[in-house]
Amino acid sequence: MAVESVLLLTVDALRADHCGFAGSDRGTTPFLDSLAAEALVFESAFAVGPGTPSSFAALFSSRYPLEFGGYEGFSAARPSLPEHLHRRGVTTAGVHSNPYLSRHYGYDRGFDHFEDSFEEADEPGLLDRVKTEAGALLSRNETAYRLGRRLFLAVFDEEKPYVDATETTDRVLDRLSDAPDRSFCWAHYLDVHEPYLPPGEHLDRELSPGRVEALNDRVQADDPDLGEGDLADLEALYDGELRYVDAELRRLFEELEARGRLEDTAVVITADHGEEFLDHGRLGHHPRLYDELLHVPFLVWLPPGARDELDAPASGRVSGQVSLLDLAPTVTDLLGIDPAPRFGGRSVLRESGHPVVSEVSNPHGVLKVDERFRRRSVRSEGWKLVVGPDGEELYDLEADPDELEDLREARPDRAAELRTTLAEERGVDPDAV
């Protein structure tokens, strides 16, 4: 089984349970729901980390970022999906505008074409240099992060600090208009990430610009004292961004279909991590490992002509756990290419239902690894153990899917089993997990 090309679409900060096909009744994803009806839907897919750097460094390498020093750059020592494909004759393209994934941090490796909203010119203009410096500031520490973020917002002249979904879709369409038959294209949509500023037609309620700004300020401040009405409005803004992205993905599909570009192209859709709305007392995505931050949508859509050739089901629901560590080997599997020898994951087309490990070790907004923030989690057979700086937490995911009742004291036996599983899966000493 193989297709000629793969289109990988990632949405920043999209938690699974806000998508219709994953159970939401908010009417957020009519297009993705229709796609899900004819795709393979992995209902239990989890990110390796709860933020862009801790997730993408794993997604593109199929290895844990902390095996290679962390998040400060996509170092050459790591396996790279785009590079692996490029070496096997697949033309590779990446389109995004997340500063953490810019060429500044090495994420352009292996891409024949890389569009990160930072100019490619040998002599970048002043604005471009300021953008790069602002992006670099994000990595240093919390104070520099705040300064860098403000600077970053200021140097983008539009109200959003990134390329919006309409422009992203246009760029992907441009890129694919003359792409060769054998290609891998990755596009990343940032709209669902805060600040939540959905186009009005995608918002299900009237909110004044002042109200929208005030709500976004409270996300920035990570304000735990939001009233119920505030929280509902905030989630409505997030859902509005999701409706907008869904509409743009529909436009992308329809246009590619009209051009005949989907006849031999598989499409993989996922998110780098989720988003918290006070599920555990915070807003946004902080370095913690609860499911609102790790559970992501994951769809694999195959062109009708390729479905019969697949020696596995080509559509339907898969409930077994998978990790985004498995994404790179899934892409190579779809293309009929051997995975890179050092990929750590396994193709989700072949295997699911294994223990899933996630981890993080940097403060919010900072790329430098700091042991004081190190957390690791393992979920296996309906249970989840989190090992963090304040000790361990244990959750029975069947009885308590929201992870609210810590059973660490009540079930030391289960915690010990999971600690062993974590050590085996992660290849670390059980005393050092």
Smallest distance from Zn ion to CB 417, Å: 32
CB of 97 to Zn ion, least distance (A): 12
For Zn ion, give the closer residue by CB, 108 or 272.
272
- Name the minimum Å distance from CB 201 to Zn ion: 25
Q: Minimal distance in Å, beta carbon 390 to Zn ion?
A: 25
Give the residues across from 283 on adjacent strands: 277
- For residue 298, give the 3-state DSSP assignment: strand
d(CA 207, CA 232): 12
For 255-275, give the DSSP string: HHHHTTTTTTEEEEEEES---
Cβ proximity to Zn ion, 14 vs 207, nearer residue: 14
- Residue 324 and residue 303: Cα distance in Å, rounded? 22
Tell me, what DSSP letter sits at residue 104?
A: G
d(CA 21, CA 238): 17
Closest CB to Zn ion among 29 and 52? 52
Our CB check for Zn ion shows the closer of 187 and 385 to be: 187
CA distance to 160, 250, 303, 306, 382, per residue, from 309 (Å):
43, 26, 11, 5, 34
> In the bound complex, what is the minimum distance in angstroms from residue 56's beta carbon to Zn ion?
7
101 vs 242: CA distance, rounded Å: 21
Name the residue number minimizing CB distance to Zn ion.
Answer: 52
219 closest CA partner among 190, 245, 239, 193: 193
C-beta separation of 286 from 224 below 8 A: no
Two tokens, residue 9: 């679409």
Q: Tell me if 362 sits within 8 A of 70, measured CB to CB.
A: yes
How far apart are the C-alpha atoms of 398 and 380, rounded to whole Å?
11
Nearer to Zn ion, 12 or 326 (CB): 12
Smaller CB separation from Zn ion, 272 or 279: 272
Is the CB of 117 or the CB of 380 nearer to Zn ion? 117
Structure token pair of residue 207: 């909110």
Q: How far is the CB of 426 from Zn ion (least distance, A)?
A: 22
Question: How near is the Cβ of 285 to Zn ion at its closest, in Å?
Answer: 7
Q: How far is the CB of 273 from Zn ion (least distance, A)?
A: 6
Least distance from Zn ion to the Cβ atom of residue 188, Å: 9
**Cα-based distances in Å from 83 to 95, 222, 390:** 16, 38, 39
CB of 248 to Zn ion, least distance (A): 18
Closest CB to Zn ion among residues 145, 395 = 145
Closest approach, Cβ 49 to Zn ion, in A, equals 9
C-alpha to C-alpha distance for 287 and 55, rounded to whole angstroms = 11
Comparing C-alpha atoms, which of 67, 13, 54, 12 is closest to residue 361? 54
Q: Which is nearer to Zn ion, 52 or 321 (CB)?
A: 52
Nearest CA to 400 out of 263, 291, 254 is that of: 291
Taking alpha carbons only, the member of 272, 271, 266, 261 closest to residue 331 is 266
Binding site for Zn ion (CB under 5 A): 12, 52, 272
Distance (Å, whole) CA 321 – CA 175: 34
- For residue 257, give every residue at least 6 positions away whose Cβ sits within 8 Å of its Cβ, in sequence order, or none: none
SS (H, E, C) 150-210: HHHHHHCCCCCCCCCHHHHHHHHHHHHHCCCCCEEEEEEECCCCCCCCCCHHHCCCCCCHH
